[in-house]
Amino acid sequence: MNDRALRYFLAVVRAGSVRAAADTLNVAASAVSRQIIEMEAGCGEALLERLPRGVVPTEAGRIVAEHAQRQADEAAILEDRLRRLRGVQQGTIRLQCGGGFLVDLLDNGLAGFARVHPGIAYQVSLGTTDSILDAVAQGDADIGLAYNPPARPEIVGVVTARQPLFAVLPKGHPLGHPLARAAGPVALRSFAAEPAVLLPPDHGVRKLLGRVEADEGFRLVVRMETTSFEAHRRFVRAGMGVGFLPRFAVAAELQAGTLHAVPLREVILSEATAHLVVRAGRRLPEALSRMLGWLADHLVAFRPLS
């Protein structure tokens, strides 16, 4: 299996079809198909299961894809070491994160790291918890920042920190008064009659809230649904209702006093965690290792709760 064949095959597995992989590789679909046919002939096994819409790897195909990914990782390691031998620190780090991490990542992570490592470029994309884990597992992202993700064998956490879900309140809200906050955590049901801004149903935070709603037999009043965390902050600051986010997602507003955050009583909400993840078993280039250490040390999301 030559490097080109492995690269083409990995692209097909990631894209889910030969044509989509060919578009990504900027080559003819027939060239990709020919490489796959030759690989299958050489292996003596079918590597792809052809479906009405696209393809999925067979068991043999998954083994070959894992090998192809390791080859790609080793090539990146080699390129990194040769660059460092020439005294050049360049490259691109691909990050995928939940929207709540974005301000923290830019202000407290990338800004400082870029000053120390000016030759490094970044690709930053947003996603839901599942899409972040998929991107890291499939090699489409080097680093993932996810909130309360499920355990997956192909993903390993570099650092994990408890980041409870809070009720985020506008100034003047009765439960945001210092005396009310001193009374301790409040039940999610306390906000059942108030208009709320929520993330879409497939988001990890919304799923946590949904479990509490189902267990206790009530529904939050959805005034606005959006994937934008900036919209969440503006909704609450405008006094339109309440939101439910981890504290790091509204750290600047809390410090400025424009919003209040009240801890929630339910265990499932108070034990939620922030995770910095990479693909299990991957050898990391030096720049990526340094980036992981920097993020673990500097992001508000991974600081101990005060």
By the 8 A CB rule, do 49 and 18 touch? no
How many angstroms separate the CA atoms of 195 and 151, rounded?
33
Q: What residue ranges of the chain are covered by domains with CATH 3.40.190.10?
A: 89-161+273-302, 165-270
pLDDT digits (tens, 9 = 90+) for 118-163: 888 899 999 988 899 999 998 889 999 999 999 999 999 999 999 9
Q: How far apart are CA 163 and CA 74, in angstroms?
A: 35
DSSP class of residue 280 equals T
Give the span between the Cα atoms of 271 and 280, in whole angstroms: 24
pLDDT at 86: 59
Give DSSP secondary structure letters for 176-208.
GSHHHHHT--B-GGGGTTSEEEE--TTSHHHHH
Report the percentage of the chain scoring pLDDT > 70: 96
Task: Please indicate, yes or no, whether the overall pTM of this predicted structure exceeds 0.75.
Answer: no
Domain 3-71 in CATH 1.10.10.10? The answer is yes
CATH 3.40.190.10 fits 89-161+273-302, yes or no: yes
Residue 263: closest CA among 277, 251, 245, 281: 245
165-270 sits in which CATH class? alpha beta
